[in-house]
Structure 1
């Protein structure tokens, strides 16, 4: 795996646990995300979203998949108060979440989209593969972003991880 590979780890409820420097450089400083912003479901329904560029159909498919996955998590952890609070907050803040929750069929869960375009503010759009690996015993989701070696996207990804979230000042 190239040294510039962005990696992020989420728990069963899609709370961000850890992200490497390359992920922060690609997607924004996760260390500045507070409270609910650290939850991927919240960010996709209520919060600021992400740098990923998606069509309305892709956004809807992502949301439906997240809700189906969260329903499975809620069934596995019915006594988890933190998860209950997240679900209550999502219901209160997002009518679309409620609609999907009430109509979602967890057996129809789909993995997040494998191909993503990330609009990085310094290097522009970067087309990436996004693989989500599930660690069943620990109930973790590990997302790994890669670009095909030798492509312009690989060069942009490498540049994005070097430039990071720096802002250049004119003198």
Structure 2
């Protein structure tokens, strides 16, 4: 009978080998036969005995506690995904993140800075607008004119009357379908961050103020598509049809929302007109 693979031990040894004493602030020694940290060094950093770490790496201890795994993850300087993987190979459920991230990943910041000619908005997992391009403001109105709490798409969709011209919510035919997709995505976020107090307050607030939201929230629908072909109405260019895409960045859990026009169409010309107009004067907000 073959011996089961020692996934936990193999993982710990591999990650121990890639960490140097300089990485963790330990003094370097001249002669080191071990690549990376020594076993006793990792044990010291994690607050466990060297003998117990040896048993973990050899597969003789198979069920470390959640506290031990968390300490090893910190000592090994693991990423979020690596920490989840370490919990899984240790036979534990991955830790539940506490709060919805609101930080902008540097790579996304660079992308947005290079997409100045495209309406792009970056939202948190709770659908709060974090940043946007000048073309986003030209197409949907300037979000900076609203207070930070007014830049949440869920709040705007369900608490503001239709046709108020707020700068986050497009005027489109399939408005009910859009809202249902928004609620479905928010339900996934709530499942991923059950302890986020700000998210809990948002859901309770919209729940108390919108019968439509209450009905959608109680319907266990998941996976509705947020993007698609959207028709908007703008005070300068009239009706404009655009392709709307929602791109998720899993590691940082943000949503990149873009609006683009089909090349060679009048919609592309209208977007270009808005781009030129935005550089010359302040544009009025879209209205119904």
TM-score by length of 2: 0.53
Which of 245, 267, 280 aligns to 1:153? It is: 267
Give the whole-Å Cα distance in 2 for the aligned partners of 1:125 and 1:18.
Answer: 25
Answer whether contact 1:6 1:145 (CA < 8 A) is retained: yes
Give the whole-Å Cα distance in 2 for the aligned partners of 1:94 and 1:121.
Answer: 28
**Shift in Å, 1:46:** 1.1
> Residue 24 of structure 1 aligns with which residue?
137
Gaps of 5+ in 1: none
Which of 191, 215, 224 aligns to 1:99? It is: 215
> Residue 120 of structure 1 aligns with which residue?
234
Structure 1 runs (4+) deviating above 6 angstroms are none
Q: Please list, as runs of the form range in 1=range in 2, the aligned pairs for 1:1-171 lying within 5 A after superposition.
A: 4-47=117-160, 48=164, 52-55=170-173, 58-106=174-222, 109-164=223-278, 165-166=282-283
**Shift in Å, 1:3:** 5.2
Report the count of equivalent residues. Answer: 163
Give the whole-Å Cα distance in 2 for the aligned partners of 1:54 and 1:113.
Answer: 12
Give the whole-Å Cα distance in 1 for the aligned partners of 2:156 and 2:268.
Answer: 27
Of the two, which has the highest radius of gyration? Answer: 2
Measured against aligned partners, the alpha-carbon deviations of 1:11-42 in whole angstroms (never above 9, x if no partner) come to 10000000110100000011112244211111
> Which protein is richer in strand relative to its size?
1
Answer whether contact 2:172 2:232 (CA < 8 A) is retained: no
Relative CO higher for 1 or 2, CA cutoff 8 Å, sep ≥ 6? 1
